[in-house]
Each structure stands twice: as structure tokens, then as C-alpha cells.
Amino acid sequence: MIRSLYSGISGMKGFQTKLDVIGNNIANVNTHGFKKGRVMFQDMVSQQLQNPIAPTEVRGGVNPQQVGTGSMIGAIDTVHTEGGSQFTGRTLDLMINGDGYFSVDQNGETFYTRAGNFYIDPAGDIVNSSGSYLLDVDGQRMSVPEGALGISIDKEGFVHFTMPEDADEVDPVQIAVSTFSNPDGMNKVGGSLFAQTAASGVAVVNGGGQGAVQSGSLEMSNVDLTDEFTEMIVAQRGFQANSRVITTSDEILQELVNLKR
């Protein structure tokens, strides 16, 4: 009886975490470049009531008898599927068709993002909405030469500058697109940024296999509200069912106590 109480508690804790993840997904349904999370459950260790018995010449085999002790969070994954494309027509709105992440410099540290809304600051540097610098393939800040009349960006990520007729031509600079052997291993650090970890592997910059850069479009969140609401209903009912297990176990324990009277 006591086991069912703790099993119910473990289930409620797990579904509460699932609801937390779903709530975060729904809150970021309109966040460009956002990658949704999902919760994976696994069962906890089972108590062995009877060990399995192998068959003999005079008796058949006997299966084990086990009672589970509840569930636990097995993993909270980040799903890195590509979101939809939103056309904006703005040159510095970028998205990556395929694998890869834009590299940005924030306070001297390199982070990675799929949110491609970039701007030109007063110093001529290309930055995101938080002021982090967009990096090129050499790890340098990307900037627009003084006096440039305009820019264009091709699918390989080369930024071409239009200069006045009396000015020297400026060679195009390629945007860094980084890929990872295990992108699921990256850490979310807020601001639509990811950080490299030991689990993700080392970033490979424009080493082949990266997607094409598309100018004039942004990648939308990969959150599907239909899926999220369905999962929310399942989590809500699971939470209610586990709370009912606790209530029922408590009622039976109360009956046992009342037997003394």
C-alpha cells in the first residue's frame, strides 16, 4: 500500500515537469529559431518478490514476480527539427535551410543560434537583437565597410558589398555556419542561443554538410500547437490519475486504521 503512494508521487512529479516543458514550448511558439523540448519517462527499479526459476525435468519454469516503484524522468530532449520559413524580404533576415547554426560572439564567448534576425550597429558591425556579433569563417566579427552602398548575401553565406564607383572593391566575407556531430548535446543558454558542450562535440565551421543560407527569410519556431495541446491533455490526465492513486491508497489505509475500533 505504501508503495502505491510513492509511485503516485513519482508520477505526479514527472507529469509536473512535462507540463513545465510544454508550457515553455507554448510560450515560445512565436520565438524565431526556437527548438522545442520534450520529456521522456522511464520506470524506476522494480522490487523483486520472486526470482525466476528455470525449468527442470519434473517442473516447468516460473516467471519472476516484480512490483514497480514508479516512474522517473529519463531525458528532457531538445528537438532540433527545422522550423517553417517566414518570408520578410529584409536582406539581414537570414535562415539556414538544413543543418547548422550561426556563430555569434557574446562578451568574448562564442554561442550558436538559428535565429537569424541581424542588424548593422552604429560601428558598422553586424549584430543580433541582443548586440552579439555575427562571426565569419575565421572567427572574426562581420562588419560592413565604411561607405558601402548596400549588401547582398548568397546561399553559401558570402556577404557581398556594393561600394561607390570611386572606392576600392571589397572582397566578400563568408558567414560562419557551424555544425555538430550531436546537436542534441548543446545547452540552451537563453536569448535563442546554444552553447557547445562535451556532449555536442566541437563545432565544425563550414566544413561541409551545412545548410544553405537564405536571405530575406527567418526560421520560425518548430513548436506545433496541435501536438503541444495534445501532450498537455495527456499530462493533465496523467497527473490527475496519479493523484487519484494517492487518494485511493490513503482511503484504504484509513480503513485499515479504522479496523482497530
Residues 95 and 206 in one domain: yes
Residues 201 and 137 in one domain: yes
- Amino acid letter at 84? G
Binned at pLDDT 50, 70 and 90, residue 3 comes out as confident
Residues 166 and 230 in one domain: no
- Cβ atoms of residues 32 and 221 within 8 Å: yes
Phi, psi of 11 (to 5 degrees): -65, -40
Residues 75 and 100 in one domain: no
Binned at pLDDT 50, 70 and 90, residue 257 comes out as confident
Summarize pLDDT for 53-71 with one digit per residue, the tens: 999 999 999 999 989 889 9
In terms of residues, how long is the chain?
261
Residues 110 and 196 in one domain: yes
Residues 124 and 214 in one domain: yes
Residues 215 and 236 in one domain: no
pLDDT value at residue 261 = 64
Structural domain containing residue 208:
85-219
pLDDT value at residue 209 = 86
Residues 67 and 181 in one domain: no
**Number of domains within the chain:** 2
Residues 96 and 203 in one domain: yes
- Cβ atoms of residues 259 and 253 within 8 Å: no
pLDDT > 90? residue 208: no
Binned at pLDDT 50, 70 and 90, residue 253 comes out as confident
Averaged pLDDT for residues 75-99? 95
Residues 232 and 193 in one domain: no
